[in-house]
Structure 1
Amino acid sequence: MDKVVTIDNYRYSIIKNYKDGFSEEEFKTRLTDYFYDYDYILGDWAYGKLRLKGFYDPKNSKVKEINNYKNIKKYIKDYCAYECKYFIAKKVYK
């Protein structure tokens, strides 16, 4: 079973934890209300810092090409450091 974390009444399931990139403490520190609207959050590490990027489910009416979850692998390849640690958190809806 995936790890589930709760932050400000929002629940997230950690569906990918590449190279043990998930840090609950750092995720809670970096996550702001800006990200609450997204269906998925990618957290990647660069220069010892956690960076977050939000993505929408392809069926979400707010989805655009730049934040479509179906493009997350391309985003990781193009915008993240080569072989960096990262995680993907999926919002858990009730």
Structure 2
Amino acid sequence: MILIGGKSYELLKDHKNGWNPEAFRDRYSEVLDRYDYIVGDWGYNQLRLKGFYRDKHPKATKDTAFSGMVDYINEYCNFGCAYFVIQKNRDAQPPKEKEKPEKHEKTDKPEKTERPEKPERPDKPERSEKSDKPEKQHEKSDKPEKQHEKSDKPEKAKSGPH
């Protein structure tokens, strides 16, 4: 019996001494918690892990059902490689149910964190204030006329010395 990540597993098959508990613990990932079976195969001195569901599991597909494990070994593993198959004990499944409410609590948090900032949008009124600024620019356009008048005087001064 193997205990990892709060789950217990049982070694079903150890082909060519493929089972290495230390290597398994090093490569194990929480992603594999959802599967009923884990196959570990060795290629180029590296352990590769693949999860499979029991055949009647609702999420099981042709590629992820335990009945497709032999096809996986024949098609995706190196020919004649060492491998092992472990099965999750069904006793380990009730803790998943305990974890699920925690996950729901986590999903509740995003609902609480929905920001009402989108309806408020203080940026839009500021933009309307910016639209007031172009009106001020029209006022500024009056000022350039005055500046134009002032610019006439220097021109006269320029035309005088010629």
TM-score of the pair, normalised by structure 1? 0.94
| Aligned residue runs from structure 1 range 13-92, under 5 A | 13-92=10-89
Q: Deviations over 1:17-49 (max 9, x none)?
A: 000100000111111100000000000000000
Gaps spanning 5+ residues in structure 2: where? Answer: 92-162
Conserved? CA contact 2:5–2:30, under 8 Å? no
Deviating runs (4+, > 3 A) in structure 1?
A: none
More helix by share: 2
Taking only the aligned residue pairs, the percentage that are identical comes to: 36
How big is the shift at 1:74?
1.0
Aligned length: 91
How big is the shift at 1:93?
1.3
How big is the shift at 1:8?
1.6
Gaps spanning 5+ residues in structure 1: where? Answer: none
Aligned to 1:7: 4
**Aligned-residue CA RMSD (Å):** 0.6
More strand by share: 1
Select the structure of larger CA radius of gyration: 2
TM-score of the pair, normalised by structure 2? 0.55
Q: Give, in whole Å, the separation in 2 of the partners of 1:52 and 1:30.
A: 8
